[in-house]
Amino acid sequence: MITGSSDNSAPGNGRTGPAIGRLFLLLLLLPFLFVRSMAAEDLLSTLSARAEKLDSMAGTFTQEYKISVLPLPLISKGEFLYQRQTGMVWTTLEPVQSRLTINRDGIYMDDAGSDKPALSQPQLGETLLALFSGDVQTLTSLFEIKATGSVDDWQLHLVPRNALVAAQIDAIDISGREVVQSVTIADASGDNTRIRFTTVEKTFLDD
């Protein structure tokens, strides 16, 4: 289920006044709330349509993994290449070197320590691809999504639908403009991961 981003939290700002006055104010605001809500759904539709057109993108990333017992975050940097047909190649360049290939068949880790790639869960590969490419349709089946912002500067707040995943991950925040710019994963344990992307090249199917 897609949840709109309408800011419908109670206006509990301590203001007092006759109940009828507040009701009137609420009635006045209703059309605005409705428009905002529709806009959120439109935003998701637009993002979904744009993700479908994304053919490839390449750039660099910086990942910060914050583990509560470690004084400093684990920061890694590298390059990524996303291609609609083949998936994503994630190359960590520092402080360690490794190369991950993520596609719909799974995740292949090709590192110095092993001579053959290790096949991991295909479902995880699909989820990660959806996260990095902003594939709203796939993400919708896995998360409750709240969208805010505009088409040119948007934010998605994802809460796992599955209780078992929710026991591991509190939420995922994705923000972007034309393409995804950052992904933040908040673990239930209190640790979190933030990945920032600097895209240098992207192509859409229309181009």
Which residues here bind another protein, judged by CB under 8 A?
Answer: 63, 65, 67-72, 74, 76, 90, 92, 95-96, 98, 100, 102, 107, 109, 111-114, 119-124, 126-128, 137-138, 140-142, 160-168, 185, 187, 189, 191, 193, 195
Residue 181: how many other CB atoms lie within 10 Å: 18
CB of 101 to another protein, least distance (A): 11
CB of 67 to another protein, least distance (A): 5
CB of 104 to another protein, least distance (A): 8
Nearer to another protein, 46 or 184 (CB): 184
Cβ–Cβ < 8 Å for 147, 154: yes
DSSP 117: P
Nearer to another protein, 3 or 33 (CB): 3
What's the one-letter identity of residue 57? M
CB of 15 to another protein, least distance (A): 39
Q: Please tell me the chain's helix, strand, coil percentages from 3-state DSSP, rounded to the nearest 5.
A: 30, 45, 30
Nearer to another protein, 8 or 97 (CB): 97
CB of 59 to another protein, least distance (A): 14
Nearer to another protein, 150 or 189 (CB): 189
Nearer to another protein, 60 or 98 (CB): 98
Long-range contacts of 177-186 (CB under 8 A, 24+ apart): 177/152, 177/153, 178/50, 178/152, 178/202, 179/54, 179/57, 179/133, 179/134, 180/131, 180/132, 180/133, 180/134, 183/131, 183/132
Provide the Cα torsion 53, 49, 77, 195; round to 10°. Answer: 180
